[in-house]
Amino acid sequence: MIAERALLPELREHIRRIERPTAPTHGVLPFGVAAIDRVLPSGGLARGALHEILGASGDEEDGALAAAFAAGIVGRLARLPTSPSPSLTRRVPSLSPLKGGEGNEARLLSLSAPRGGEGWGEVGVVLWCLPRPDLYGSGLAAHGLDPGRLVLVRAPRDDEILWAMEEGLRAPGIAAVVGEIGVLPAVASRRLQLAAERSGIIALLLRRWRDGGQAARERALPNAAVTRWRIAALPSQPPQGEPGVGRPRWRIELLRCRGGEPACWEVEGADATGHVSLAATLADRPARPVSSERFRRAG
Amino acid sequence: MPLADALSFFPGLATAAAEPAEDAAALRRLAEWCGRYSPWTAPDGVDGVRIEITGSAHLWGGERALAADLIARLDRRHVSGRTAIADTLGAAWAIARFAEMGKDLVILPPGDCRAALAPLPVEALRLDPVTAQGLRRVGLKRIGDLSAMPRDALARRFGQTIARRLDQALDNLPEPLSPLGEVPTRRVRLSFAEPITEPTDLMLATERLTADLVQRLVREGTGARRVDLGFHRVDGQVERIRLGTARPSRDPRHLAALFKERLDTVDPGLGVEDMILAAFAVEPLPAEQIGLLGHPAGSEASGIAPLLDRLGNKLGLAAVSRLEPRESHIPERASVRVQPHLTLPIADAVGPLPLPPKGRRGPASSPSPLLGAERGGVRWGVSGKPPRPIRLFEPPEPVEAFWLLPDDPPFRFAWRRRRHRVTRADGPERIADEWWQPAASSADPREGGDAIRDYYRVEDEEGRRFWLFRAGLHGNDRPPRWFVHGVFS
């Protein structure tokens, strides 16, 4: 009787893994917003995977919103507690004195500890590869990413940026790798995805284009990224109708997600802790996320 | 005699235009090639090379063997010359040029070279022609005559140079040699009986050399920061690979991997006959404890140092940087790019060189030199100030802006051939020049009265938010100019 009761959850887990083979094996990074986490497989952004972030219209050239979105994601990585999320299939060792023992899992020493800084203190180094050094430290700090954790790698050519990202994904001590490129060959994206899976490091690709023709071509190309996001700017709503610019607002579109449906949300931009939050006018709406397209796009 | 006269004597004379610059370059290359014997080499005048072989003669089996090797190799290159080895530079110079003809190699035994120099003419002391002429007129034709004369009399008549040269030749005054390149602190050499050209062979030789060098470094407890691998080709040219590491390293696999990436830039030509690995900057490196199960027990900084080395050596050491906050009102000076592991800003950061913060600990002693939101007491994100953009343009890009009232933000502006209509704006935030700092580059929109900027945070009808500023005040003879400095999220 007791053995059967223990067997049932195991069978459920087994069946879940068969149904959703794309479940992330390195854990997830939740957004903290229920509406977004519900749509993503396993309730968050897959770690150990490649994610692609695009800007919209004029922002494709500057990449400010994409950078802010990426900064929020990476900043939240530092604040992730080391308690294992339910989808992890291996136990996370937390013997470091900083975290203390959280539950029974804390006292287990697992020989298959994942790399990428997990469990050894989340404060790893973030590698940001970009063609022009136009990131501003104070702006990053305002979105939740501590600029002291950044190592900037400046490379004028796309293939050099891809090479630098791959090197970063293979090195120990790196928490996340962010790269800004224009042209992405599908083979290169596959390599990045494999490298990310092997090491458990989250890899973010920001697409920036100066040329409209190149943008139109690249947007339509498929690649191996697990999720594809598009961030667009929305007019802000200052509090109580005061004049001036209020808290920044974004439209976040999940264009493509492996194991999930496309969706879009209107949120307020990442704050100093890196969290986005649903815009106030949407708080009263029903909990279902607003899907603007019911079909999967080819990209 | 003039060339015309010579041609009249001998019409079939072969002539060629003199190219002093090419000659000097060729001499330099020869001196560089002679670096295989010793790192202390330099061209000497227009027709000689001086080499300091004090510590390296034993590697060749003695001075005579070294000289024989040198003459044989020069012969193969059709370079004829005379070689002299002596205690001092002056003596060697004199013997090589003025000793009796017919002998290509003269080696003076160590000790007093006075006797060997005595029969040589006074020109052998490297004197200028006027002084030498004056000495001859007085009857002093040989160095032996000079050394017998009282020094102060000579100095009064002919100047201090004579005494100096005499002392240098007789080893009473030291004359150091200024070498051609930087002198390495450690050097290992591999010579091949037959010249090699295959990349695999070159790589094997590189690995052997790095293993040898690492052995020496391990014995001394140091690590190398800058290494130079020289490939001495058969035709006399020297190809080099220069490497720098972020932290002192004595990991042979890491160094060999760094060399391997750059090996395809080396052209072996007809073959490489020598490879010399030299370490230029070494720093103490204590033994590191390796962790259990392959996890490094050190901080994360030791883990990503090899990555920074690989990135820096392929993309250029200025390509890898970190952001550091600085105390400054001027936005482009408040965030500065510095080299990882150091706090010196790299060359293209705008702004003057800041002083290192007080109480800075060196990289070897700090447990996590890469981390921390506070560097030198300056924090990111000044509270109480308006928000800053996430992208900042260096230099700010000019825009065309239209405004109604002098202090108003613009209601419309054109940037990068796109027009934006402003719906909301915050500002102005006045940022004036820091009078205690020198002005930055000339691309800066700060000339004369334009040193004052009024910043506005504007939002256009699509929702994009920009950071505009007006440089200069109204009322000057020139209308103020508008720029966009950054883009918000």
pLDDT of B295: 46
- Is residue B175 one of the residues assigned to a domain? no
State whether residue A266 sits within 8 Å of chain B by CB: no
Residue with the bigger pLDDT between A296 and A275: it is A275
Q: In the structure, what pLDDT confidence band is assigned to residue B203 with cuts at 50, 70 and 90?
A: very high
Residues 6-45 on A with a CB inside 8 Å of B are none
Contact A68 B390 (CB under 8 A): yes
pLDDT of B211: 93
Do B460 and B334 sit in the same domain of this protein? no
- Is residue B383 one of the residues assigned to a domain? no
Q: In the structure, what pLDDT confidence band is assigned to residue A81 with cuts at 50, 70 and 90?
A: low
Q: Which two tokens stand for residue A207?
A: 């697409």
Element at B483 (helix H, strand E)? strand B481-487
- Is residue B442 one of the residues assigned to a domain? yes
State whether residue A212 sits within 8 Å of chain B by CB: no
Mean pLDDT, range B167-194, rounded to an integer: 85
Residue range A13-28, pLDDT digits in tens: 788 767 655 555 777 8
Is it the case that residue B342 has pLDDT exceeding 60?
Answer: no
B335, B371, B463: residue with CB nearest A123: B371
B304, B416, B464: residue with CB nearest A59: B464
Residue range A41-73, pLDDT digits in tens: 878 888 889 999 988 877 777 888 999 999 999
pLDDT of A63: 84
User: Which residues fall within 8 angstroms of residue B258, CB to CB, at 6 or more apart?
Assistant: B243, B245, B309, B310, B313
CA distance A22 to chain B (A): 28
At B429, which amino acid appears? E
C-alpha span between A92 and A198 (Å, rounded): 17
- Is residue B209 one of the residues assigned to a domain? yes
Contact A138 B382 (CB under 8 A): yes
Do B367 and B399 sit in the same domain of this protein? no
A139, A155, A167: residue with CB nearest B307: A167
**B404 class by beta-carbon count within 10 Å (0-12 exposed, 13-18 middle, 19+ buried):** exposed
Peptide bond into B395 cis (omega under 30): yes
Is it the case that residue B360 has pLDDT exceeding 90?
Answer: no
Do B32 and B164 sit in the same domain of this protein? yes
Q: In the structure, what pLDDT confidence band is assigned to residue B374 with cuts at 50, 70 and 90?
A: very low
Q: Which two tokens stand for residue B7?
A: 């041609």
| C-beta neighbour count of B328 within 10 angstroms | 17
Residue with the bigger pLDDT between A213 and B194: it is B194
C-alpha span between B234 and B51 (Å, rounded): 20
pLDDT of A101: 40
State whether residue A278 sits within 8 Å of chain B by CB: no
Q: In the structure, what pLDDT confidence band is assigned to residue A212 with cuts at 50, 70 and 90?
A: confident
pLDDT of A2: 62
Residue with the bigger pLDDT between B367 and B172: it is B172
Residue range A102-118, pLDDT digits in tens: 433 333 333 333 333 33
Q: How many helices (H) and strands (E) does chain B have?
A: 13, 18
Do B452 and B471 sit in the same domain of this protein? yes
CA B458 to chain centre: 46
pLDDT of B39: 87
pLDDT of B474: 73
Residues of A in contact with B390 (CB under 8 A): 64, 67-68, 71, 135-136, 139-140, 142-143
The answer to whether the beta carbons of residues B463 and A243 sit under 8 Å apart is no
Q: Which two tokens stand for residue B146?
A: 């000079």
CA distance between the termini of chain A: 50
Alpha helices in B63-195 (DSSP H): 63-76, 89-98, 114-117, 129-138, 143-148, 151-158, 160-169
CA A71 to chain centre: 10
Do B351 and B441 sit in the same domain of this protein? no
CA B353 to chain centre: 20
Mean pLDDT, range B93-117, rounded to an integer: 81
Contacts 24+ apart (CB under 8 A), B238-243: B238/B29, B238/B32, B238/B33, B238/B35, B239/B266, B239/B267, B239/B268, B241/B265, B241/B266, B243/B309, B243/B313
Mean pLDDT, range B273-286, rounded to an integer: 86
Residues of B in contact with A137 (CB under 8 A): 323-325, 334-335, 380
B382, B391, B459: residue with CB nearest A236: B459
Do B225 and B193 sit in the same domain of this protein? yes
Q: In the structure, what pLDDT confidence band is assigned to residue B276 with cuts at 50, 70 and 90?
A: very high
Q: Which two tokens stand for residue A202?
A: 């989250």
Residues of A in contact with B391 (CB under 8 A): 62-64, 67, 134-136, 139
Contact A235 B372 (CB under 8 A): no
* Interface with chain B: mutation pick from A126, A245, A249, A251, highest number of B CBs within 10 Å: A245
Quote the radius of gyration of chain A (alpha carbons, Å): 20
Q: In the structure, what pLDDT confidence band is assigned to residue A241 with cuts at 50, 70 and 90?
A: low
Do B457 and B361 sit in the same domain of this protein? no
> What ipTM was estimated for this complex?
0.73
Q: Max CA-CA distance within chain B?
A: 98
User: Which residues fall within 8 angstroms of residue B420, CB to CB, at 6 or more apart?
Assistant: B412, B413, B414, B460, B461, B462, B464, B466
CA distance A7 to chain B (A): 33
Is it the case that residue B324 has pLDDT exceeding 50?
Answer: yes
C-alpha span between A42 and A35 (Å, rounded): 13
pLDDT > 90 fraction of chain B, expressed in percent and rounded: 12
Q: Which residue of A has its CA nearest to B415?
A: A58
Do B279 and B330 sit in the same domain of this protein? no
User: Which residues fall within 8 angstroms of residue A177, CB to CB, at 6 or more apart?
Assistant: A126, A127, A129, A165, A168, A169, A196, A201, A202, A203, A204
C-alpha span between A114 and A199 (Å, rounded): 8
**B239 class by beta-carbon count within 10 Å (0-12 exposed, 13-18 middle, 19+ buried):** middle
* Interface with chain A: mutation pick from B292, B304, B320, B323, highest number of A CBs within 10 Å: B323
Alpha helices in B366-429 (DSSP H): none
Residue with the bigger pLDDT between B186 and A108: it is B186
Residue range B440-485, pLDDT digits in tens: 544 455 444 457 888 999 998 888 899 999 887 777 677 788 999 9
pLDDT of B395: 86
A68, A120, A148: residue with CB nearest B375: A148
Contact B426 A163 (CB under 8 A): no
Q: Which two tokens stand for residue B79?
A: 């370079």
C-alpha span between A205 and A45 (Å, rounded): 14
pTM, two decimal places: 0.67
Lowest-confidence region among B4-8, B84-88, B166-170: B166-170
Residue with the bigger pLDDT between A139 and A92: it is A139
SS (H, E, C) chain A: CHHHHHHHHHHHHHHHHHHCCCCCCCCEECCCCHHHHHHCHHHCEECCCEEEEEECCCHHHHCHHHHHHHHHHHHHHHCCCCCCCCCCCCCCCCCCCCCCCCCHHHHCCCCCCCCCCCCCCCCCEEEEEECCCCECHHHHHHCCCCHHHEEEEECCCHHHHHHHHHHHHHCCCEEEEEEEECCCCHHHHHHHHHHHHHHCCEEEEEECCCCHHHHHHHHHCCCCCCEEEEEEEECCCCHHHCCCCCCCEEEEEEEEECCCCCEEEEEECCCCCCCCEECHHHCCCCCCCECCCCCCCCC
Do B164 and B192 sit in the same domain of this protein? no
A57, A59, A125: residue with CB nearest B300: A125
- Is residue B240 one of the residues assigned to a domain? yes
Q: In the structure, what pLDDT confidence band is assigned to residue B382 with cuts at 50, 70 and 90?
A: low
State whether residue A46 sits within 8 Å of chain B by CB: no
The answer to whether the beta carbons of residues A249 and A279 sit under 8 Å apart is yes
pLDDT of B262: 86
Q: Residue B471: helix, strand or coil by DSSP?
A: strand
B471-484 CB burial, b ≥16 within 10 A, e <16: bbeeeeeeebbbbb
Ranges A144-148, B10-14, B25-29, B242-246, most confident: B25-29
Element at B220 (helix H, strand E)? helix B199-220
Contact A125 B325 (CB under 8 A): no
| CATH number of domain containing B269 | 3.30.1490.100
pLDDT of B343: 35
CA distance A123 to chain B (A): 8
* Interface with chain B: mutation pick from A138, A162, A211, highest number of B CBs within 10 Å: A138
Is it the case that residue B56 has pLDDT exceeding 70?
Answer: yes
- Is residue B78 one of the residues assigned to a domain? yes
What CATH number should be reported for the domain whose range is A30-80+122-282? 3.40.50.300
State whether residue A147 sits within 8 Å of chain B by CB: yes
C-alpha span between A35 and A278 (Å, rounded): 8
Phi, psi of B133 (to 5 degrees): -60, -45
pLDDT of A77: 83
Tally of domains in chain B: 4
pLDDT of B414: 92
pLDDT of B76: 85
Residue appearing with tokens 């929020």: A72
User: Which residues fall within 8 angstroms of residue A70, CB to CB, at 6 or more apart?
Assistant: A53, A178, A204, A206
pLDDT > 70 fraction of chain A, expressed in percent and rounded: 74
Range of the domain at B104: 24-169
Do B362 and B414 sit in the same domain of this protein? no
Ranges A71-80, B32-41, B324-333, most confident: B32-41
Contact B304 A167 (CB under 8 A): no
Element at B22 (helix H, strand E)? helix B20-33
Residue range B111-125, pLDDT digits in tens: 778 888 888 888 888
Query: Average pLDDT of chain A?
Result: 75
Residue range B401-429, pLDDT digits in tens: 888 888 888 899 998 888 999 988 887 88
A67, A148, A155: residue with CB nearest B372: A148
C-alpha span between B440 and B449 (Å, rounded): 15
CA distance A18 to chain B (A): 32
Mean pLDDT, range A77-88, rounded to an integer: 50
CA distance A291 to chain B (A): 21
Do B144 and B31 sit in the same domain of this protein? yes
Count how many pairs of residues, chain A against chain B, have C-beta atoms within 8 Å.
196
Q: Which of B118, B137, B169 is the last residue of a domain?
A: B169
C-alpha span between B37 and B58 (Å, rounded): 11
pLDDT of A228: 92
Residues of A in contact with B416 (CB under 8 A): 61
